[in-house]
Amino acid sequence: MAKLEIVTIPEQILHRKAHKVTDFGKEFQTLVTDMIETLREAPGVGLAAPQVGIPSRLIVVEYTVDEENEDAPKKLYVVANPEIVDASDETVSGVEGCLSIIGLVGEVDRHQSVVVKGQNRFGKPVKIKATGWLARIFQHETDHVDGILFTDRTDKVWQPREDEVSID
């Protein structure tokens, strides 16, 4: 396992649509493992392959259901070729940050719930129904593989206080 370098703006890869994952072999498995390690060391809750300089449609998300309890188990999602196939009409505004946009957060409107389809790390189909914070994370990370940053979705951006939250 190796920690990967997280690229930051203005790197152009962050503004490009990533390529579909078609090979789930050894090289891909190494990338998944390295991205998980990088996410955990960052630390963050989500990471997309373009954020580590790889133009592939791959995201990893690690989510704690009970954020008040630091010992609560985390759920890890690995999704290749993520696609939001359904979204609630209801939207909510929330503060997001990004490992690729250091020192800034922004207020972003996102769907309250989404359905994400894709493939797991072995190429098997997955379908994830997410609401609340998890839905926000999936929307943020899926944006990354489409070349969209949270700053593209808002004009309310500022330097965060210590108690403000970050997405990835």
Catalytic site positions: 141
Torsion over CA: 123, 50, 32, 59 (sign): negative
- How far apart CA 60 and CA 21 sit, in angstroms, is 14
Query: Beta strands 91-98 and 101-111: pairing type?
Result: antiparallel
CB-based contact 84:102 (threshold 8 Å): no
CB-based contact 139:70 (threshold 8 Å): no
Place of tokens 């209801």: 90
Distance of CA 28 to the CA centre of its chain: 18
